[in-house]
Structure 1
Amino acid sequence: MTATTIRPGERRISPVFLGILAVTAVTGWATWTGFAAQPGVAVFLFVTAAWVVSLCLHEYAHARTALHGGDITVGAKGYLTLNPLKYTHALLSIVLPLVFLIMGGIGLPGGAVFIERNRIRGRWRHSLISAAGPLTNVLFAAVCTAPFWLGALDGVPRDFRFALAFLALLQVTAAILNFLPVPGLDGYGVIEPWLSYKVKRQVEPFAPFGLMFVFALLWVPSFRDGFFDVVYGILHALGVEDGASSCGYWIYRFWESTPEICAITP
């Protein structure tokens, strides 16, 4: 069975996603033009809305790849509509990532869509389904950093540039964390089809705790510092100047005082 068996209504983009996309566009425009009375609020809304858009695209990529791999049930489950409320549990997929974004400036992986793996044939297909989500974050990061690595920053307002740099940081952190070979995360899903049955059975009980394990590691200073060293190294390789993503983070947190070097000018 192929994607042609999906009903047209199951592909229709959700008004919820279109609304989030509209908020992203409007607040992005407000950030660029300095239209908002409080620019930090515009940056907050722009980055938050864009982050939710990326979460939706991440889960959609899993579902779309699964559809072409043989799981036609993703249509009936609403996964092809880009509606964030359809992706697993709203708490794991949307709320927790938003909390981590607001509290710590980290792109935490959300919950994955439910794929009926018994419908998928071939180990490569299983691996690709798992990889499709974080690869979307990689692509999103490339788009956000395009003005930097293309040297096209002339005329780009400083607050918009900082917002893009911070959004790119979120995408890079999400991609790295998702690709960790930890049970319950996409990275483990990539390698799982290639593991022996015995190993998979031994690892299976730990899958529900994988995300909590990563959560705990991020509170360990040595791990967190090493993690962000890698993140900033990738951003630097993509042309993002030192401090741009950090300034984007501080401006995003408009309710706190912004370091003078990062202060937004009207």
Structure 2
Amino acid sequence: MSVTRRNNRISPLFLGIAAVTAVAGWAVWTGFAEQTGFAVFLFVTGAWVVSLCLHEYAHARTALHSGDLSVEAKGYLTLDPLKYTHALLSIVLPVLFVIMGGIGLPGGAVYIERGRISGRWKHSLISAAGPLTNVLFAVVCTAPFWLGGLDGVPLAFRFALGFLALLQVTAAILNFLPVPGLDGYGVVEPWLPYRIRRQVEPFAPFGLLAVFGLLWVPEVNAVFFDAVDAVLRGLGVGEVETYCGLDVYRFWQEWFGDQDPGCAALLDG
């Protein structure tokens, strides 16, 4: 097998994660699992990791077609989460933030050799490709809602899709912010004067931290989630789906009696 074919072959790890996601989704849909919350947890977490891998793959694939052939040798096209430059930032921290806070944290990045690429539009498109994948994922997750196809969809699966859509929308919005270190800044950076880019460059590692620091400010947090809710409403997803989706996802709350009785009643009814 040639090196090129090996570097393009889909990772067994990614296929395993996708398989677990599919089985968990089936368990949520059919009610096969005794612990619905645990099945929802596996389904949403698995789907979220799949979306993170696709986000990074989109950056790499766009870079490849723009002239950076090095992404192939780095294994970025295999969808293997362990191949990315910052596995901790790309996979581990986003998953932890979902578990703790129910928010789609933008992941780390693949390393693109920008010097191999010419043309400002190409650089912008490489940066935009990742969050556009989150947008597409959100559209797919919410398709039953905005197409009016919820008849026959089990409530637990509906809640899981609503929460997964919330994660994708928050990730897309955060990623598209024109803040150094985020993809949104990568979109506009090629169009900025060289002097400004040089001045901003030292702050790039702290951009994401600054954004999450601001989200702790109640007024900023309210504006952000109002925007997220507005997008979700436009896609047909209500607050009940996202709220109960998060509540059911945190299956361990049942052990401590912290689950919302309203969501539990909806599922039992």
Q: Distance in 2 between matches of 1:83 and 1:143?
A: 22
1:262 Cα offset (Å): 1.1
Candidates 103, 111, 114, aligned match of 1:106? 103
CA distance in 2, matches of 1:211, 1:167: 21
For residues 96 and 7 of structure 2, the distance between their equivalents in structure 1, rounded to whole angstroms, comes to 30
Task: Identify which of 117, 120, 139 aligns with 1:123.
Answer: 120
1:201 aligns with 198
Distance 2:65 2:25 in 1: 34
How does 1:1-266 map onto structure 2 within 5 Å? 7-256=4-253, 257-263=258-264, 264-265=267-268
TM-score, normalized by length of structure 1?
0.96
Q: Say which SS state the counterpart of residue 80 (structure 1) adopts.
A: helix
CA contact (8 A) 1:6 1:75 kept: no
4+ residue segments displaced more than 2 Å: none
Secondary structure of the corresponding residue to residue 184 of structure 1: coil
TM-score, normalization: structure 2? 0.95
Richer in helix (by share): 2
Shift of 1:6: 7.8
Cα distance in structure 1, aligned partners of 2:119 and 2:59: 16
- Whether contact under 8 Å (1:106, 1:170) holds in the other structure is yes
* Identity fraction in percent: 74
Deviation by residue 1:9-41 (Cα, 9 ceiling, x = unmatched): 111000000000001000000010111111000
Contact 1:31 1:160 in 2 (8 A): yes
For the 8 Å contact 1:100–1:107, the answer to whether it is kept is yes
> In the comparison of the two structures, how many residue pairs are matched?
262
C-alpha RMSD of the superposition: 1.2
Distance (whole Å) between structure 1 residues aligned to residue 26 and residue 216 of structure 2: 35
> 3-state DSSP class of the match of 1:109?
coil
Q: Secondary structure at the match of 1:255?
A: helix
Which amino acid counterpart does residue 191 of structure 1 have in structure 2? V
CA distance in 2, matches of 1:90, 1:201: 27
Deviations 1:202-229 (A, max 9, x none): 1001001111111211211111111111
Measured against aligned partners, the alpha-carbon deviations of 1:43-85 in whole angstroms (never above 9, x if no partner) come to 0010000000000000000000000000000011010000001
Query: 1:168-213 CA distances to partner (integer Å, 9 max, x unpaired)?
Result: 0000000000000000000000000000000001100100111111
Give distance in 2, aligned partners of 1:59 and 1:242. 29
Unaligned ranges ≥5, structure 2: none
CA contact (8 A) 1:6 1:72 kept: no
Structure 1: gaps spanning 5 or more residues: none
